[in-house]
């Protein structure tokens, strides 16, 4: 099959490069005090949002493959949609389908996981994010698995709970713990089994690191889940309540790790012969613990003891590296992302971000595939992220990303570039208004610098976002302000800045404009027709 694109007859692109800027987590909010984008001083964005080549796009729900429009988007599905040019069923939707059809429980992997513990005194362990945020995991998936384990005769199960406060309200852990404990009691009584919570901790300090940013987070999880080392409590509820009392300002995502114990003995360490499932469906924050369980030559930290277990993920978290080896639900098969067509047509390109979002402009953009599509035509460059809380450094590496991008643009080697500024999302997740506003202002300044360079080179800049976050710093419930650290359901901006523009095209009016329409638009702006099965372009040519 040829991946060479047909050229447009009436438009051949511009002399200079096309630059796509993804302002991660910067959506279009209510334009009030809750909206960090509105509250920030953003002279560049203010002007762009009033331009003629401006629109808003849906970046959540069904527009990015989630089950319903009540589901927030995230950076992974957002970049999948941006790079794929089409909408694929994603994460939660795939798991929902597999559970509803019972397919998740009929695979050889499930049979092996259950079989090795059902007829013994060994334990089936479940590790994952305990919330209904539906970004990394959902408690309903955990509950469905627990019910099936009891039905399948598994006598002992332990849950290792990672507390959210990021994709849901910042201090909601006790709600989900209470729901989980209620189900465990019901199963214990009905089936005569021994199911308990064994350990846990806040997601930003326990287990759920990503992109190799801070392996000490994973080590804390390993110590608690596997070794049973850490501060001990009689219950998860006691642990959370104690941490709240000791530091009233702390939020769930930053709660320290803990171990549930009786008489000083942990109730559920991971041992030889056990089965382990990481029930997160999203891969970025599940990869590192998966490596710790599976890699023989593991050097990131001292594991002390490596139990012989059968380990599986909810999904395959990396299709190229095949991590983990076993998984319960097949990932979406995203074939022919836009980079395949660009390489097939000889278009040179680059991708840049800092560590926190580098995988998004490479792996996720390329349809969940690692590595280059064509190393002769592409160049990926990662700026290392600082290992700090991002409310303390809201500028992050935006300036470094900007400087590096300018080097690539001025080199004259590349026809297309894509970059991601993580600030709006990563700082937005902290819930600290002053830091969020600084983050947005930093991005605004950097975007302005890049626009001037691309104008100088007679190129085009396209600006959008993968989802909202900084645009919703808090919500109001029953007259009370509640800090919002989760992604928003707000639309995101889409802007074209074209110095050479002479009314050759215009933004198409459509009630259903989403991230998946961006790929065809980029191809059009480079002078190419879109593939037949790609979603429509956001522009239409006037002649």
The reply to whether 75 belongs to the active site is yes
The 10 Å CB-count burial string (b at 16+, else e) for 286-312 is bbbbbbbbbeeeeebeebeeebebbbb
CA angle 377, 422, 501 (to 5 degrees): 60
For 231-274, the DSSP string reads -EESSHHHHHHHHHHH-TT--GGGPPPEEEEETTEES----TT-
And the tokens for 55? Answer: 């629109």
CA distance 436 to 459: 31
**DSSP 8-class letter at 314:** E
Cis peptide before 324 (omega within 30 of 0): yes
- The alpha carbon of 74 is separated from its chain's Cα centroid by a whole number of angstroms, namely 5
Using alpha carbons, select from 223, 229, 230, 257 the residue that is nearest to residue 243.
Answer: 257
And the tokens for 148? Answer: 């099936």
Active-site residue, from 34, 75, 275, 484: 75
For residue 352, give Cα distances in angstroms to 143, 311, 378, 476, 539. Answer: 39, 33, 11, 37, 26
Give the Cβ contact number of residue 264 at 10 Å.
Answer: 6
And the tokens for 247? Answer: 């530091």
Catalytic positions, written as ranges: 75
């Amino acid at each position: 099959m040829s991946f060479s694109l047909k050229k447009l007859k009436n438009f051949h692109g511009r002399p200079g490069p096309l630059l796509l800027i993804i302002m991660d987590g910067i959506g279009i909010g209510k334009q009030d005090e809750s909206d960090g984008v509105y509250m920030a001083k953003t002279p560049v964005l203010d002007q762009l949002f009033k331009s003629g080549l401006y629109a808003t796009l849906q970046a959540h729900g069904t527009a990015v493959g989630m089950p319903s429009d009540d589901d927030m988007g995230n950076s992974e599905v957002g970049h999948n949609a941006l790079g794929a040019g089409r909408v694929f069923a994603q994460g939660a939707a795939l798991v929902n389908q597999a559970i509803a059809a019972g397919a998740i429980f009929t695979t050889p992997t499930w049979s092996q996981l259950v079989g090795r513990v059902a007829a013994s005194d060994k334990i089936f362990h479940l590790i994952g994010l305990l919330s209904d945020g539906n970004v990394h995991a959902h408690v309903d998936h955990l509950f469905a698995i627990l019910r099936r384990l009891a039905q399948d005769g598994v006598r002992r199960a332990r849950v290792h709970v990672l507390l959210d406060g990021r994709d849901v309200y910042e201090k909601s852990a006790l709600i989900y713990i209470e729901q989980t404990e209620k189900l465990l009691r019901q199963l214990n009584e009905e089936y005569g089994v021994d199911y308990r919570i064994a350990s846990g901790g806040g997601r930003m300090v326990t287990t759920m690191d990503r992109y190799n940013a801070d392996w000490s987070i994973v080590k804390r999880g390993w110590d608690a889940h596997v070794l049973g080392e850490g501060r001990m409590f009689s219950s998860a509820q006691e642990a959370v309540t104690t941490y709240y009392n000791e530091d009233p300002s702390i939020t769930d995502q930053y709660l320290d790790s803990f171990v549930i114990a009786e008489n000083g003995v942990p109730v559920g360490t991971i041992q030889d012969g056990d089965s382990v499932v990481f029930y997160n469906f999203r891969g970025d924050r599940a990869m590192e613990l998966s490596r710790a369980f599976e890699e023989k030559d593991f050097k990131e930290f001292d594991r002390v003891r490596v139990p012989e277990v059968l380990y599986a993920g909810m999904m395959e978290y990396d299709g190229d590296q095949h991590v983990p080896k076993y998984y319960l639900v097949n990932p979406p098969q995203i074939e022919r992302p836009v980079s395949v067509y660009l390489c097939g047509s000889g278009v040179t390109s680059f991708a840049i971000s800092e560590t926190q979002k580098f995988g998004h402009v490479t792996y996720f953009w390329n349809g969940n595939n690692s590595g280059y599509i064509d190393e002769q035509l592409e160049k990926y460059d990662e700026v290392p992220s600082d290992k700090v809380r991002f409310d303390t450094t809201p500028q992050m590496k935006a300036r470094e990303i900007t400087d590096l991008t300018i080097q690539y643009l001025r080199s004259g080697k590349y026809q297309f570039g894509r970059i991601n500024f993580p600030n709006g999302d990563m700082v937005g997740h902290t819930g600290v208004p002053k830091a969020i506003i600084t983050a947005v202002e930093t991005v605004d300044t950097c975007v302005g610098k890049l626009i001037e360079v691309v104008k100088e080179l007679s190129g085009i800049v396209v600006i959008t976002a993968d989802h909202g976050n900084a645009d919703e710093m808090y919500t109001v419930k029953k007259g009370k302000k509640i800090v919002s650290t989760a992604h928003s359901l707000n639309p995101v901006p889409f802007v074209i800045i074209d110095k050479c523009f002479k009314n050759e095209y215009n933004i198409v009016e459509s009630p259903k404009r989403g991230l998946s329409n961006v790929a065809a638009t980029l191809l059009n702006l480079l002078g190419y027709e879109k593939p037949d099965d790609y979603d429509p372009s956001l522009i239409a040519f006037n002649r």
